Amino acid sequence: MSLIHLKNILSCSSEDRVHCAKNLLKPEQYKKWLSSKSTEERIICILEFEKPSLISSVDIGNDGSAFIELLVSHSSSSKPDDWTALLPSTIFMTPNESRSNKNRNQIKSFKSYQLNKTCLNEEWDRLKIICDQKFNRSNQFGLSFVKLYSTVDDNKQIEIGNKSLTNIADEDETKKEENQTKKKLKSISNDDDDDDKHVSSNVSDELLSKKSINDNQTQKLKKKDVKNNKSQIMKNIAFVLSGFQNPLRSQLRNKATAMGATYNDDWNEKCTHLICAFPNTPKFTEVQQTEKGFIVNKQWIIDCHKKNQLLPEKSYELKETNDNETKQQTPKRKSETKKRKTQNEDENIISKDVKKRTPVKKKPTTTKEDKKKKNKFEEIPAVFHGKHFYVSYGDYDDNTLLDITRVILAYDGILERQITPDVKYVITNRMWNQDFAKISKSNPDINFINLDWLQDCHDANQFVPMQPYLVVP
């Protein structure tokens, strides 16, 4: 991938005298762009590319910013505010890290699947950078560098041209050798017939040996390419994930899809494997009831990716621990019950003779109400199954954030660390603002919801209608 070169800076809302915005034009020097004052909460910079380019990946070096957002636009557009979100507002520093001024120089790289899909198929020539820091007003903030990469690489085109020239030269040499051998055959044809046969056979043997060597080399190269090509290892596998949280969830999904597997949010007839973190999840019980497909742990994907081959599922199968324990304990319980029966019979005989009641140990009886209570605790409904959430980290303290994550994950929801195209629910306590309007343009199906909705869903133990809790303009 080739680096997209930045031409000039069109506008900048704030910049330091030394660490100015022009430093971003040369990202290889790793010079900073910082705000002019520490009292500011947001700084914006608009840059222009040397030429319109396709964007495939982005590298960002942070310098004290809590949130960073990237927008792109066309210089030929008639509307000045016609910006589309390339990278939605992404957290780089937590509130605690911002207050203590720790981890302010993190570097993150975003690949094509992490960017907005609508921006990948168009060429852009303008970039808008928005940096926010609302948790610490005593320090300056900004960026250390921004690098954008394009799918078109000029160096590759040069290499392809050089390879084609070398191939032409090789073809010319082979033609020359063939012509020389033909001349030799013609010169030798004036000799005796027996000599002609021996010479022609020797020459033909040499040519056949050369061809066989070349064929063997090409076959070896093809075999190496097949071994190195991971996209065919799991081409017949469709998998579902259960019980994992990001970033581990996305890592497992990326490794499996890189080996040719197809990912599904829910289990259906086409699915073959369930990658489960622990037993007794809603998806775990669903697959067990169907009695189709494999239930394996995460190590199966990791080992297949490492060894570059499809491994058998037997050593990675995930089973219920309760069933196995009860099966092992049943023979012991039978022997114990036999002993107890004999003891009770003896005690009954003694009680008839002496007319005294002896205390007999009774088994603890379980009522229907106790069974219902146990089922309530064991079976948590998958209210948020297949739903992607994002929490506005700057709106809540650490304790409430922990409670929010627990509720979302307990009801089989997926919590993202940034606003991706899959996110449909944003938990926030803010009023409608310009940021929400920009995000809703790039993702029309997204919903900004108050925290009370999540609490009511937890209290009702079901998916509550969200219309009364929506944050709207």
Per-residue model confidence as pLDDT tens digits over 290-319: 888 899 999 999 999 999 999 999 889 987
Highest mean pLDDT among 43-57, 251-265, 344-358, 370-384: 43-57
In a domain, residue 163? The reply is: no
pLDDT of residue 289: 87
- CB-side neighbour CA atoms (13 Å) of 51: 4
Examine the pLDDT at 327 and tell me if it is beyond 80.
no
Q: What is the pTM of this model?
A: 0.39
Per-residue model confidence as pLDDT tens digits over 230-239: 778 898 899 9
pLDDT of residue 331: 41
Looking at the structure, do residues 278 and 308 belong to the same domain, yes or no? yes
CB pairs under 8 A, 24+ apart, for 14-18? 14/40, 14/43, 15/43, 15/45, 16/140, 16/142
pLDDT of residue 278: 83
Alpha helices in 14-153 (DSSP H): 95-100
Looking at the structure, do residues 96 and 186 belong to the same domain, yes or no? no
pLDDT of residue 451: 87
* Total count of residues recorded for the chain: 473
Decide which of 378 and 385 is more confident.
385
Looking at the structure, do residues 102 and 21 belong to the same domain, yes or no? yes
What is the per-residue burial (b if ≥16 Cβ within 10 Å, else e) of 247-265?
Answer: eebbebbebbeebbbeeee
Looking at the structure, do residues 135 and 255 belong to the same domain, yes or no? no
CATH number at residue 40: 2.60.120.260
Terminal Cα-to-Cα distance of the chain (whole angstroms): 41
Q: Report yes or no: 457 and 427 within 8 Å, Cβ to Cβ.
A: no
- Residue 363: how many CB atoms within 10 A of its CB? 7
Which range among 21-35, 89-103, 216-230 shows the weakest confidence by mean pLDDT? 216-230
Per-residue model confidence as pLDDT tens digits over 47-81: 999 999 999 999 999 999 999 999 999 988 877 77
Average pLDDT over residues 87-105: 90
Q: Is 243 left (phi over 0), alpha (psi -120 to 50) or beta?
A: left
Looking at the structure, do residues 293 and 245 belong to the same domain, yes or no? yes
Asked if omega into 444 is within 30° of 0 (cis), the reply is no
Confidence of residue 321 (pLDDT cuts 50, 70, 90): low
Q: Could you say which DSSP state residue 246 is in?
A: T
Average pLDDT over residues 97-115: 90
What average pLDDT is seen over the chain? Answer: 77
C-alpha distances in angstroms, 170 versus 163, 166, 180, 181, 456? Answer: 11, 6, 16, 17, 75
Looking at the structure, do residues 364 and 310 belong to the same domain, yes or no? no
CA–CA gap between residue 275 and residue 254 (Å, rounded): 13
Looking at the structure, do residues 308 and 327 belong to the same domain, yes or no? no
Largest CA distance in the chain: 133
Compute CA 403 distance to the chain's CA centroid, rounded to the nearest angstrom: 24
Which range among 53-67, 97-111, 227-241, 331-345 shows the weakest confidence by mean pLDDT? 331-345
Count of domains observed in the chain: 5
In a domain, residue 283? The reply is: yes
CATH number at residue 405: 3.40.50.10190
CA–CA gap between residue 225 and residue 219 (Å, rounded): 10
Q: Report yes or no: 12 and 21 within 8 Å, Cβ to Cβ.
A: yes
In a domain, residue 61? The reply is: yes
In a domain, residue 186? The reply is: yes
In a domain, residue 159? The reply is: no
Tell me the residue type at 213.
I
What percentage of the chain carries pLDDT values higher than 90? 24
In a domain, residue 233? The reply is: no
Examine the pLDDT at 5 and tell me if it is beyond 50.
yes
Confidence of residue 171 (pLDDT cuts 50, 70, 90): low
pLDDT of residue 406: 86
Per-residue model confidence as pLDDT tens digits over 177-217: 666 666 655 555 555 454 444 444 555 555 556 555 556 66
Per-residue model confidence as pLDDT tens digits over 138-162: 889 999 999 999 876 444 444 444 5
Q: Is the dihedral of CA 302, 306, 312, 316 positive or negative?
A: negative
Per-residue model confidence as pLDDT tens digits over 109-139: 999 888 988 888 889 999 999 999 988 888 8
What percentage of the chain carries pLDDT values higher than 70? 70
Looking at the structure, do residues 22 and 117 belong to the same domain, yes or no? yes
Confidence of residue 219 (pLDDT cuts 50, 70, 90): low
Examine the pLDDT at 250 and tell me if it is beyond 80.
yes
Retrieve residue 296's tokens: 């394996």
Confidence of residue 30 (pLDDT cuts 50, 70, 90): low
Examine the pLDDT at 339 and tell me if it is beyond 70.
no
Compute CA 74 distance to the chain's CA centroid, rounded to the nearest angstrom: 30
Looking at the structure, do residues 306 and 336 belong to the same domain, yes or no? no
Q: Report yes or no: 207 and 242 within 8 Å, Cβ to Cβ.
A: no
Per-residue model confidence as pLDDT tens digits over 387-411: 999 997 777 777 788 888 888 988 8
Looking at the structure, do residues 446 and 363 belong to the same domain, yes or no? no
What is the per-residue burial (b if ≥16 Cβ within 10 Å, else e) of 330-359?
Answer: eeeeeeeeeeeeeeeeeeeeeeeeeeeeee
Cα torsion through 102, 103, 104, 110, rounded to 10: -160
Decide which of 336 and 272 is more confident.
272
In a domain, residue 49? The reply is: yes
Domain end call among 207, 228, 249: 228
Q: Report yes or no: 64 and 139 within 8 Å, Cβ to Cβ.
A: yes
Looking at the structure, do residues 426 and 303 belong to the same domain, yes or no? no
What is the domain extent for residue 177?
168-228
Decide which of 357 and 60 is more confident.
60
